[in-house]
Each structure stands twice: as structure tokens, then as C-alpha cells.
Amino acid sequence: MKTLIVTMCLTGLSALALAQNAPATPPRITTADAKSHNGKTVTVCGKVVDTKVPRYGLAGRGKPVTFDLDQPEPKPVFFFVAFGSQDGGPQEAVAAYKDKRVCVTGKIEMTAEPLVPFILAADRSQIKPQADDK
């Protein structure tokens, strides 16, 4: 009798575990729409129009590179931050994305005044170059 009860419980629990859905694909939005998605995980697509490499880097990560999408400084609409490879440094990251269309997936954050949405792409797999016709 005990074995029957345990078997029924395990069967019920395994059905619940298998019924969980895979995580949904984040919605794809434009750079102009990013401001209204603060705190949400989305995919933002646009063309890299400007890059900035600071003078100093972060210990263990190197220098972060800021990539403006669709609109450069002084009035950017969206940017993402990525790091170059250990071998190529920040110039490797700049060469990989400069003047290309990309989609970057991550959680939207906002800068202090002026409010500009951005994604910190600590993992370069978050960034996908796109064909020019997209």
C-alpha cells in the first residue's frame, strides 16, 4: 500500500515538473521603444553608429566599449556596453560591431539624467550581428 501511494505521488509530481514551459523568447523592439521597457528583458535591434572606449578598464574584464545604436551622441536613443576579448582588447569588439546592424538581448537599464536606455552585454553571446537588409 505504501509503495502505491509513493508511486502515485511521484507520478503526479513528475507530470507537474514536465509541464513547465521553456522560457519565452524576449520581445524584439526598436531603439526608440527601449525607453518604455525599463527593467524588462528584451531584444533591441539597430545599427551601430558610434563607439566609445574609456581610458580605464575594469579589473578582470578590461575596457568596456559603449556602442550607440541608430543615434550617436549628443542625443543617443539607446546603447549597449560590451567588452573585447582578452586577446584583442576593446579594438576587437569595435571591429566586430562598428557600422553593422546588431540585435542585443538583455535587461534594459536607464542612465541618470538624461535618461538613456542601455543593456550591459557582459556575455558577447547576447549580441547578434544581422544582415544589412533587416
- At residue 106's C-alpha, the angle toward residues 101 and 112, to 5°, is 95
Domains of the chain, each with CATH number or no CATH = 24-129 (2.40.50.140)
Tens-place pLDDT, residues 122-133: 899 999 999 865
Tens-place pLDDT, residues 18-41: 455 556 899 999 999 999 999 999
Dihedrals phi, psi of 90, to nearest 5 degrees: -65, -30
> In whole angstroms, what separates CA 51 from the centre of its chain?
17
Q: Which carries the bigger pLDDT value, residue 84 or residue 105?
A: 105
